[in-house]
Amino acid sequence: MSKETNHLTPSIDEAEEKKLILNRYRALLRSSNRNLSDEDKKMIRSAFDLAMDAHKDVRRKSGEPYILHPIEVAIIVSKEIGLGKTSIVAALMHDVVEDSDYTLEDIQRIFGNEIAKIIDGLTKISGIFDKDISVQAENFRKMLLTISDDVRVILIKLADRLHNMRTMESMQDYKQRKIASETLFLYAPLAHRFGLHNIKNELEDLSLKYTEPDIYNDIEQRLIEERSDRTRYLKTFSSRIRDRLNKEDLNFSIKERAKSVYSIRKKMLEQKISFDEVYDKFAIRIIVDSPPEKEKTDCWRVYSIITNIYQPNPKRLRDWITSPKSNGYESLHITVMGPEGHWIEVQIRSLRMDEIAEKGYAAHWKYKDEEGYNDQFLEEWLIKVRELLEMKSKTSAVEFVDSFKLNLFSDEIFVFTPEGELRRLPTGAFPLDFAYDIHTDIGNKTLGAKVNGRLVALNYKLRSGDQVEILTSNAQTPKEEWLPYTVTARARNNIKQALKGQRKKRIEDGERILQRKLNFVKVKPTPKLINQMVRHFGLKNADLLHEKIGKGVIDNKHIKGFLQEQNQGFMSYLRTKLRRGKKPKGLNEDVDKNELTILFGPNNESLEHKLAQCCTPIPGDAIFGYRSSAGILTVHRTDCPNALALQSKHANRIIQAEWMLEKMVDNTAILILKGIDTVGLVNKVTQIISNNLNVNIKSINISGGAGVFEGIITVIVEDKIHLDKVISQLKQVEGVTTVERRFKK
């Protein structure tokens, strides 16, 4: 639990220590904003006595009795988070099982199953962080698993971390930095997501205090120096507002506050400005005591009054009353120009909203005998947590934490369906994230998107206020190139699952097709024969062979060619020797043969080379090498426009070249289509390329006139076999008369 303990001789008078402990215990009883019954107080006293016994003679590095730590954690849980008796009892005993001879069974016998379950959760996440980031990430996931059981485990853990951060002075510097970095990395964002804004701000400030002490002390000192001037200024600023609000017969209070040290530092970094250039270092909060039915009306009345007095900055209006944040935060934020040209932020909220802002989710919960909760925002958040936890089995621990922080700790945007329904998404979300947020089937069938009535690309980043319409097609299926255009775990996980299913089906289909074709020519599909086919087509394994057959990239013609070559005996021997036997000259020992694509010269050497941009050769093309006067070896197609000139003028620089093993990379090819213009031509072409052949279209431009058309299509293919298949299929489209591969200009 990031604690430092010692068994030390008391440093102060024992009677004074007992008095201090008793005073803090009484402060704990006073801290609860709930009415504790005599039975509640009796249970809290039992927990306190047990904790006293478990931690007797144990001290922290500071020398103080260790029992003060669980008491202070319980006070934070009760006063600052707003939880009740069950959480107070659990907080008092949160270190008991880990640090003493008391067992979980003892806790269960004395205090019951519910408290024992919370203590068990707290014990399991003890020592959660490690220097190894992957272990740290895995442990963080384990902590999140406890959310599904009882959210109070995490809230007590946050309180524990806050008190540890408040009392780190006695620790060594490197431990202070480590704990502070961990806090800033995960605990502060977690507090923010639970709506605990005061705790989040304090965790951030304390983290900065230990990670960048000089910067923290400088900003803090300058805030202290400005305090008297700030107080005087804010009193002048708010007096005019107070007078006007009193005339409106509103029941309200005004609080003044300074921006946190961390948020000032963050703004200085983001905007590359100095401390003096941060103009909204101060703020006031106006809290109206209104009945639920008048809350919004009264908040907007206050807004109207303030903006009649001071000029607002329209770019800085934040309306979280109409659309609360996903953690339940409700407030109206405006920035106005005060006297002497200072920008002042004004927060307007009701008493209920203020309680939620201070206590977070705890303010929402409606406990019955201290059990359960009923909160829409928390439930929505927990659903997302569970989705991410399910995704963990398919990703590394570090990827999981990155995804978790992106999806649940990031700022939000608010977008709308065509019917006006509000949806929350992380900042940076794409139309596909929106589609999958609506429903998995919508996402899987996404053909395109309209934003505010305008057709947009799938890489369009959504912004707050956008109205999004998803265009779907039953013929559409998820594609691998969609993944860069998603940020939410739900979208990425569903796409990966669909791709995995598609590949599995293609492999199964290919296996059946190959079996049927070989049976037809009375050839037995032995493992040896399959391996020979794998090598023949330059693939890595049988799954890739079956997948290509299933996609139609390797068809009957190619299989027939392989079988004919097998029957030639000597050619089969040479090919086998070349691909399986002795390594070609010039091939380094550490070169992965699966990455080797071209061999040069009569001795089949592996040489450093690059592919010519003028003809963009792809695996399967007839090729040759040309070595320039500078010694650079470039690979051209034999039908390259420059081939004739190179071979005639520089025959001594020409080197024979041959494709060997296929490199699984994307290859670009440009196709020219010509023909008679027909209705739905573009749709037919894209249907064949994208859906029938699973080819990614990089760009398409088809124009027509006077009954004819010409089109240029850039496609991404695996090799020449794949490209030939595309060309063959396109030639069968009604109206298409010619399909040719074009050289780059």
Q: Give the lowest-confidence range in 130-134, 479-483, 602-606, 725-729.
A: 130-134
The answer as to whether 588 is a domain residue is no
Question: 3-class DSSP state for residue 220?
Answer: helix
- Would you say residue 496 has pLDDT above 60? yes
Q: Do residue 44 and residue 183 come from a single domain?
A: yes
Q: Do residue 107 and residue 163 come from a single domain?
A: yes
pLDDT at 384: 62
The answer as to whether 316 is a domain residue is yes
- Is residue 543 part of the annotated active site? The answer reads no
Which runs of consecutive H residues, i.e. helices, occur in 604-692?
643-649, 681-686
Which of 363, 385, 409 corresponds to the end of one domain?
A: 363
Q: Do residue 671 and residue 655 come from a single domain?
A: no
pTM over 0.95: no
Q: Hey, what amino acid is at 134? A: S
The answer as to whether 698 is a domain residue is yes
What's 567's DSSP letter?
T
| Contact status, residue 709 vs residue 720, Cβ threshold 8 Å | no
pLDDT tens across 310-366, in order? 998 888 888 888 888 766 788 999 988 888 878 888 999 998 888 878 776 666 553
Q: Taking the mean position of all CA atoms in its chain, how far away is CA 643?
A: 49
CATH number, domain with residue 202: 1.10.3210.10
pLDDT tens across 78-127, in order? 888 888 888 999 999 988 888 888 888 999 999 998 898 888 888 766 54
pLDDT tens across 626-657, in order? 988 778 899 998 888 887 777 766 777 888 88
The answer as to whether 451 is a domain residue is no
- Would you say residue 140 has pLDDT above 80? no
CATH number, domain with residue 688: 3.30.70.260
Which runs of consecutive H residues, i.e. helices, occur in 81-212?
85-92, 96-99, 104-111, 113-124, 133-149, 152-166, 173-182, 188-193, 197-211
Q: Do residue 293 and residue 348 come from a single domain?
A: yes
Q: Do residue 698 and residue 550 come from a single domain?
A: no
DSSP string spanning 239-281? Answer: HHHHHHHHHTT--EEEEEEEPPHHHHHHHHHHHT--GGG-TT-
Domain that holds residue 324: 222-363
**639, 607, 653: which is closest to 742 by C-alpha?**
639
The answer as to whether 418 is a domain residue is no
Q: Do residue 136 and residue 237 come from a single domain?
A: no
The answer as to whether 429 is a domain residue is no
pLDDT at 434: 94
pLDDT tens across 387-417, in order? 655 554 455 555 555 555 555 555 677 788 8
pLDDT tens across 35-80, in order? 788 888 899 999 999 999 988 888 887 788 899 999 999 999 988 8
Binned at pLDDT 50, 70 and 90, residue 2 comes out as very low
Q: Do residue 195 and residue 52 come from a single domain?
A: yes
Q: Do residue 192 and residue 280 come from a single domain?
A: no
pLDDT at 423: 82
The Cα–Cα gap between 674 and 702 comes to: 9
- Averaged pLDDT score across all residues of the chain: 79
Catalytic-role residue among 72, 99, 160, 621: 99
Q: Do residue 22 and residue 142 come from a single domain?
A: yes
pLDDT at 93: 93
Binned at pLDDT 50, 70 and 90, residue 288 comes out as very high
pLDDT at 363: 60
Q: Do residue 197 and residue 284 come from a single domain?
A: no
Which of 659, 677, 697 corresponds to the end of one domain?
A: 659
pLDDT at 204: 93
pLDDT at 362: 61
Q: Do residue 178 and residue 58 come from a single domain?
A: yes
Q: Which residue has the higher pLDDT, 380 or 325?
A: 325
Residue partners of 50: CB distance under 8 A and separation at least 6:
92, 93, 96, 102, 110
- Is residue 98 part of the annotated active site? The answer reads yes
The Cα–Cα gap between 647 and 627 comes to: 11
Q: Do residue 544 and residue 607 come from a single domain?
A: no
pLDDT at 551: 77
pLDDT at 665: 56
* Count of structural domains, the chain: 5
pLDDT at 165: 93
pLDDT at 659: 79
pLDDT tens across 250-276, in order? 899 998 877 889 989 988 888 888 888
| Contact status, residue 65 vs residue 21, Cβ threshold 8 Å | yes
pLDDT at 347: 93
The answer as to whether 369 is a domain residue is no
pLDDT at 385: 62
Which of 550, 580, 610 corresponds to the end of one domain?
A: 580
- Would you say residue 663 has pLDDT above 60? no
- Reading across the β-sheet that carries 708-717, which strands appear in turn? 696-705, 708-717, 667-676, 736-742
Q: What is the mean pLDDT of residues 138-151?
A: 59
